[in-house]
Copies of this chain bind each other. A is one copy, B any other.
Amino acid sequence: MNSFGRLFRISIFGESHGESVGITIDGCPAGLSLQAEDLLPDLERRKGGIQKGTTPRQETDFPIFKSGLFNNKTTGFPLTILFENNNTRSEDYNKQRSIPRPGHADWVANQKFGGHEDYRGGGHFSARLTTGLVAAGAIAKKLMPELRIEAKVTEIGGEKDTEKGLQNAIEAKDSVGGIVECLVTGLPVGLGEPYFDSLESVLAHILFAIPAVRGVEFGTGFAAAKMYGSAHNDAIEDMTGKTRTNHAGGVVGGISNGNELVFRLAVKPTSSTSKTQNSLNWETGTTEDFSIKGRHDLCVALRAPVIVEAVTAIVLADCMLLEQKIKRVL
């Protein structure tokens, strides 16, 4: 249940305030040149505390390879990568254990796992688990140097001028949502399948696994619902499959058509806000006012792009292996 992928398969583990978080990648081709340093630029982008509006919690996030690497090359066997948790302040969470934080998984986790969940810092639900995703994504990117995968925040709090949207939230002393867009160029025709393993299906599956994602759309997306067919259809121009417009966002019938892959995600405002909230105290059974301590992102969308790129790369590497466009031994 904590695994994803068919031939390039990832499995995540760990808790926010436990010993470590990590990932195992099974099915990575043998012979890929790889060292910890290759992962650092993307891991650095994921970190909080650098951009304005992100959490001050800072982890070193240095990837420790426990298996699958030999002489700085992948062996073809599972790669297990650990990230130690050093900078945890669990006492922040213990205090408020009885008030499930609105928007967070506290209450559902408690119900589903009978109180056995590690609740500190969100436990296994924490966005800290995305560290492993980013590491796997960086490896997947290395497998496909011909692709350009680029995600960015295109809107914060409804403002296309993202700096303004963020500033508004800072002034409101509140967390805020945003839109992330991802573009991929260099994709071959033919990735994805009709129906269940459509490229949109598989991408959406993992995109909705990113905490705080509430919507996913491809190409014109929700705007397509307002259009006529004659305006929406993309005329094919030549034998490479290039289309005059790209309302489809590069996927037709579930399959990549060789044009730019385009999709967008809606990211909700960080559930942790410094505003006073009113919610249930499950010890007393009544609602009460409270405010959330701990260190948090003001706009979690700001940290999403590198994660979105990572999971996109993971899906595409998997599809490329299925289509035999990446070899099992490089």
A interface list, Cβ under 8 A from B: 1-4, 7, 9, 11-15, 18-22, 24, 26-27, 30-31, 65-68, 70, 73-80, 82, 100, 102-105, 107-109, 111-114, 116-118, 123-125, 129, 155, 157-158, 169, 172, 174-179, 189-190, 193-198, 200-202, 204-209, 211, 213-239, 241, 243, 247-249, 252-257, 266-273, 275, 277-280, 282, 285, 287, 301, 322-324, 327-330
Chain A at the B interface: mostly helix, strand, loop or mixed? Answer: mixed
CA distance A178 to B227 in the complex (A): 8
CA distance A268 to B231 in the complex (A): 11
- Chain B residues contacting A68 (CB-CB under 8 Å) are 13, 15
Asked if residues A1 and B26 are in contact (CB atoms below 8 Å), the reply is yes
Q: For residue A243, which residue of chain B has the nearest CB? A: B102
CA distance A14 to B1 in the complex (A): 21
Give the 7 A-B CB pairs with smallest separation, nearest first.
A105-B253, A215-B217, A175-B229, A158-B226, A229-B273, A229-B269, A102-B233
Asked if residues B108 and A70 are in contact (CB atoms below 8 Å), the reply is no
Task: Report which of B73, B224, B252 forms a contact with A177, defined as CB distance below 8 A.
Answer: B224
Asked if residues B67 and A15 are in contact (CB atoms below 8 Å), the reply is yes
CA distance A177 to B78 in the complex (A): 30
- Chain B residues contacting A103 (CB-CB under 8 Å) are 229, 232-234, 248, 252
CA distance A278 to B243 in the complex (A): 11
- Chain B residues contacting A230 (CB-CB under 8 Å) are 174-175, 273, 275, 277
Q: Tell whether A215 pairs with B221 under 8 Å between CB atoms, given A195-B129, A268-B227.
A: yes
Asked if residues A273 and B75 are in contact (CB atoms below 8 Å), the reply is no
CA distance A108 to B323 in the complex (A): 13
Task: Report which of B15, B70, B114 forms a contact with A30, defined as CB distance below 8 A.
Answer: B114
Task: Report which of B82, B237, B285, B328 forms a contact with A287, defined as CB distance below 8 A.
Answer: B237
Task: Report which of B3, B216, B279, B329 forms a contact with A196, defined as CB distance below 8 A.
Answer: B3
- Chain B residues contacting A329 (CB-CB under 8 Å) are 112-114, 116
- The distance from the CB of A164 to the nearest CB of chain B, in whole angstroms, is 13
Asked if residues B196 and A201 are in contact (CB atoms below 8 Å), the reply is no
Q: For residue A14, which residue of chain B has the nearest CB? A: B67
Task: Report which of B157, B202, B236, B330 forms a contact with A226, defined as CB distance below 8 A.
Answer: B157
- Chain B residues contacting A266 (CB-CB under 8 Å) are 217, 221-225
- The distance from the CB of A202 to the nearest CB of chain B, in whole angstroms, is 7
Task: Report which of B21, B107, B172, B204 forms a contact with A208, defined as CB distance below 8 A.
Answer: B204
Asked if residues B222 and A77 are in contact (CB atoms below 8 Å), the reply is no
- The distance from the CB of A115 to the nearest CB of chain B, in whole angstroms, is 8
- Chain B residues contacting A26 (CB-CB under 8 Å) are 1-3, 11
- Chain B residues contacting A123 (CB-CB under 8 Å) are 70, 75, 77
- Chain B residues contacting A27 (CB-CB under 8 Å) are 1
- Chain B residues contacting A224 (CB-CB under 8 Å) are 177, 214-215, 266-269
CA distance A275 to B233 in the complex (A): 11
Asked if residues A195 and B2 are in contact (CB atoms below 8 Å), the reply is yes
Q: For residue A282, which residue of chain B has the nearest CB? A: B239
- The distance from the CB of A4 to the nearest CB of chain B, in whole angstroms, is 4
